[in-house]
Structure 1
């Protein structure tokens, strides 16, 4: 069916099909060309069919939509006007591409006849995201059946999709009655506002999903997975979004599990709290096989392990279809493999003993009084590692934790004790590209997408927080989640001090071009955004604050020093050397 649909009619049809595809949250960055979308969305929310989130910054809007998709496990749409507004979504689209999040970009565009004419706010929007998102350039002449098919695919496929909608003629609806601006698709008029059954089934089967009770969903290793032989000394590496199947494989075989905080697998008795540090010891030399699930990105020891051509490396494809294989040495698997029984218990026992000892040494050193030789180098202030330990301990059953890139997620990787099984913890971050972009907006989206979580926490560094303070820019009438930001505040980019550029040979340029001290007054910034603020200078107050259930969004600034970050990393490596094990004997 075709016809001379008006711009408001085309916009309505697109939104109706998004609703039918399971979209229940839409983020709007207002503009002129997107006016028919804006009016229909406002009417849809008034009818209770959609939740509308309005943001004035398109980059923030994109990451808010990404966070909503992450938290709700549903497709989420973000709507913009034409011109540079669309380009500002690129970082969020890239992240969605590398994590398989279902982000639907709906951009209003000028008609094709104006392209290349210099018309105001007219550019080449169609295909602007390149390989990161397939683009459908939609016009009023497109048959309804084709439009329905395109939008249905956008809502169901993994990763982002771009719907570029050419709107021609009058943008405003001819009828000023808001009741005419939105109505559900006729085929679903009698249905309630829940997503179609097939969409719900797909969401409930997503890795790491839990019900409102916080009990982890029942997950099993796929029965069609490759059957692995026992005998080769194997380590399971669970990277970002690995899901529970990685843990279940390690438990079934009795293998050591190195699980990153955002893996969804840092649960149970096979997890090694200090796994990445133990990979710098002699235990690493005995590894013969590695199974990689998810997207590991946090440490060089792990990257070195999974890139070793001398090992058998098996890598399972993620939701984006990519198997992590930086060394191009892995054999790819479509699903997590299986075993038919436990392996030699002595293999895991050696790792468990070393992990227990190293964890004890780290905790004892951090608890030692200032001046004690066991204590890591630094002043008497709070250690970033102890802050991470408190944050990790605050992640109770059915907590949402969003972790920023750089040091916070790495500190948590060393300090967070494995969480107990059967009680779901929703720990996520933007690890597809591991950037600091949009983390405030992502955290807000996750909290809004999981409203039944017992509490929502975001753990970020100060530069990550400042990079997206527009995420706090929520106008009157907009939903503000119950969300606590813990900002590890060291006035700059501390992570660079642990890398090559942190060597004293580059000290003369380091502060200016890497550390980038900013001196920003976070309390004043929060006041400008009408956001509650508290400076926290001791661990007891931090633990108490994280046990609270605040109403609304607040920021806890935790000042720490970055002067000793490099020495602290060396201290951890030295402790790992102290627990080196002799090469384990074959049974």
Structure 2
């Protein structure tokens, strides 16, 4: 067995012992030993993508949904650089990734050798661990080094503080197994008996003692984006009567959560009369300017999270604690609680009445109705820019569906690929149908995510694309009045989703009427559904929704 093959086989075997079950491979020559070892392992499902950026976001979606580290493999050179956006997202959103980049050996670096760049610490501070693995040599001690390194990398990727890990593997030729390879090496390559990992990890420490919250009436619970258990915060709201303001990707918008908080906090009269004495926040809040402004008004802001890395986007945190508990003897039926319930009912009524006034699908109504029609056990991937914001503004509280999105860096990079990966992991773990709500620019930005080779695993995924011929989010911002707005921000492209579907040989449907949404969502495999809207009209409708809610709650 040649050294490159030995390293790859031992490393992959040890990662599988640690728990690796998914790997994404971008084709290349230098990474051949890793690719061959991954596809040969019986406990690992391999996915191949021709585009490194698409591959990396596919791995991100798999890892985000399964909550398990996924291996991501590429050859040397710009291939590794194309992983960078996904690595940044994994870092900011706490997604475990094992990035395995093949590299030229040291004697070829800095010489002008083909496809050679400096890959040392390529991703900077975005990774939890970087290791230059070193050129494999046929000497005693290599197997224990490789196996212990695999365990260390697996542990560094999570679960204590999940995130990406980068191993840079310098591989010399030959890169394929020797003819008649017997598997012999200069020392035994076997791992621990019984399939155990080389290094056993101790059990996670017991849950920390929660902070008992002060007995205030005017409390508010804010659930931002993140992968955490929402039940304690729903229970806290039920015990205290404090309103729960939940972003869609918190998966806490259930039961009596306030679904119209975005409009309520933008209603001048309501906002003026509802300054909080205490805010308890968890996850990453920051989807709306209204929420950011509201956090600044809190007399005390308790953040629940890891003291080493917690979200405090407007610098208002006064305490950081690992867990919270309701104050003893809390009364859930106070004047404060009743005022929020009454406002939610009035706002919800005004919002729904306005959206239901037209049978043609608007962007906010599409978001509201799609979230409402998701079957139990479904997964919805929400694209950045307007799709996630329309969900935040229009979605009613509901249970039984999981909503995720790339909210770490909030880019539109790799949107399609992340959704495909998320659906694959969701369905491998026994979940139901996969759905995505994205914009036209996000689709065009990641058309390669639709290119899935024959024989590759494919999910059931309905991708609903809002096509407003450009960047809809800018129509509601200050840039909208600039004379060069259309060219610089609107960026019309004139591409229909039907043409994109034809490129990828996928089923396509154009959806116009709200009553047709449930039957249009039916189907199998990856499919594209296009909803054509007008950017300017959508911006006007969102303003009308806010005016209607303001009138309903401020009188």
TM-score, length-scaled by structure 2: 0.90
Spell out the pairing of 1:16-415 with structure 2 (5 A cutoff).
Answer: 16-44=13-41, 48-133=42-127, 134-139=129-134, 140=136, 143-156=142-155, 157=158, 158-175=162-179, 186-187=190-191, 190=194, 224-241=209-226, 242-244=228-230, 245-269=232-256, 271-281=257-267, 282-285=269-272, 286-308=275-297, 311-317=299-305, 321-339=308-326, 340-343=328-331, 345=333, 346-368=335-357, 381-415=360-394
1:444-501 Cα deviation digits (max 9, x unpaired): 0011101122211011111111111110111111111111101111111111011111
Which of 469, 473, 491 aligns to 1:516? It is 491
Q: CA deviation at 1:393?
A: 0.9
Contact kept? 1:385, 1:411, Cα under 8 Å: yes
Give secondary structure in 1 for the equivalent of 2:499.
Answer: helix
Give secondary structure in 1 for the equivalent of 2:340.
Answer: helix
Spell out the pairing of 1:464-483 with structure 2 (5 A cutoff).
Answer: 464-483=442-461
CA distance in 1, matches of 2:258, 2:198: 41
> For residues 223 and 11 of structure 1, do their structure 2 counterparts lie closer, same or farther at Cα, with a shift above 3 Å needed?
closer
Q: CA deviation at 1:198?
A: 8.1
> For residues 153 and 283 of structure 1, do their structure 2 counterparts lie closer, same or farther at Cα, with a shift above 3 Å needed?
farther
Q: CA deviation at 1:176?
A: 5.1
Single out whichever of 74-83 and 110-119 deviates more from structure 2.
110-119
> For residues 302 and 185 of structure 1, do their structure 2 counterparts lie closer, same or farther at Cα, with a shift above 3 Å needed?
farther
Give secondary structure in 2 for the equivalent of 1:389.
Answer: helix
Q: CA deviation at 1:148?
A: 2.7
Q: CA deviation at 1:311?
A: 2.2
Q: CA deviation at 1:87?
A: 0.3
Give secondary structure in 1 for the equivalent of 2:50.
Answer: coil
1:210-248 Cα deviation digits (max 9, x unpaired): xxxxxxxxxxx9661111111151111101015313323
Runs ≥4 residues deviating over 6 A: 177-181, 195-202
CA distance in 2, matches of 1:52, 1:446: 15
1:33-58 Cα deviation digits (max 9, x unpaired): 001112222222xxx32101000100
TM-score, length-scaled by structure 1: 0.85
1:176-230 Cα deviation digits (max 9, x unpaired): 569999xx984467559xx99989987xx9xxxxxxxxxxxxxxx9661111111
Question: Counterpart of 1:441?
Answer: 417
> Where do 5+ consecutive residues of structure 2 fail to align?
none
Let me know the Cα RMSD of the aligned residues: 2.7
- The total of aligned residue pairs comes to 534
CA distance in 2, matches of 1:178, 1:272: 64
CA distance in 2, matches of 1:407, 1:201: 42
Q: CA deviation at 1:152?
A: 1.8
